[in-house]
Amino acid sequence: MDRPENVNVSSGVLTITARKEATPIKCGTNDPRFPGGRSYTSGMLSTKNKVDFEYGRFEISAKTPLNQGTSKGLWPAFWMRPTTGGIGELDILEAVGTAKGEAFSANQISQTIHYDYVGTHPRQVTNYDLPVGTTADGFHDYAVEWAPGSITWYVDGVLTFERNLSTTSWLDQAFVKQFYIRLNMAVGGNWPGSPTADTVFPAAYQVDYVRVYKR
């Protein structure tokens, strides 16, 4: 949603807020899956057709709302897709919330590359656990360095994952064109599942900065 209740900047911090709506809100005029409207709203920012990138360092300082046991269904992310569509997805930060009784994972994030969405090649992913604290206890730095033939991820300056042509033969097929940035927080989906009665709304995904360093 393009409204301050869901996307707002104040005191230098961007906040994307997921909300549970008292009255369902229709998603435009062409959403046959939810003819009565949707019960949750959130926001997504994109640089598509504004600024695009091929190679560089992409970095975010962010604080998630993924407190253990009260964040089921929430899915904050910082990721990239090709401007003209087609193959390739680069996920710099993804994390999902938890319900009461689920195993502790409030310190875990995922970093992934996808060739496509039909299984031509399996996605390649790592799960990284913060050694101290959680993604919700303060701002943490998540970054990727994308160069010809290699992609390397970092969390708070720690190298967490690396792919190159020896690990990923298709790297220079999927990642050799202009990409744009997406920054969003989804609610629901196959991976995070649906919110529960314990999920706290409004849920704020806060971003101190996004930085891009060109190679």
Tokens 């680069």 label which residue? 90
Write out the two tokens for 190: 């196959």
Give the side-chain half-sphere CA count within 13 A for 143: 20
Q: CA-CA distance, 154 to 135, in Å (whole number)?
A: 14
Q: What is the pLDDT of residues 92-132, one digit of tens each?
A: 999 999 999 999 999 999 999 999 999 999 999 999 999 99
pLDDT at position 31: 83
Write out the two tokens for 67: 């407190």
Q: What is the pLDDT of residues 11-68, one digit of tens each?
A: 999 999 999 999 999 888 778 888 899 999 999 999 999 999 999 999 999 999 999 9
pLDDT at position 41: 97
Q: Which of 5, 54, 59, 89 is catalytic?
A: 89
Domain residue spans of the chain: 44-195+207-213
pLDDT at position 215: 81
pLDDT at position 32: 87
User: Under CATH, to which class is 44-195+207-213 assigned?
Assistant: mainly beta
Provide the residue type at 61 as one letter: S
Q: What is the Cα 54 distance to its own chain's centre?
A: 19
Q: Which of 5, 94, 102, 162 is catalytic?
A: 94
pLDDT at position 97: 98
What are all long-range contacts of 123-127, with beta carbons under 8 Å and residues at least 24 apart?
Answer: 124/163, 124/167, 124/168, 126/153, 126/160, 126/161
Per-residue confidence band for 3, with pLDDT thresholds at 50, 70 and 90: very high
pLDDT at position 103: 97
Q: CA-CA distance, 32 to 54, in Å (whole number)?
A: 36
Q: Is 102 a catalytic residue?
A: no
pLDDT at position 49: 93
Tokens 């992934």 label which residue? 112
Q: What is the pLDDT of residues 58-80, one digit of tens each?
A: 999 999 999 999 999 999 999 99
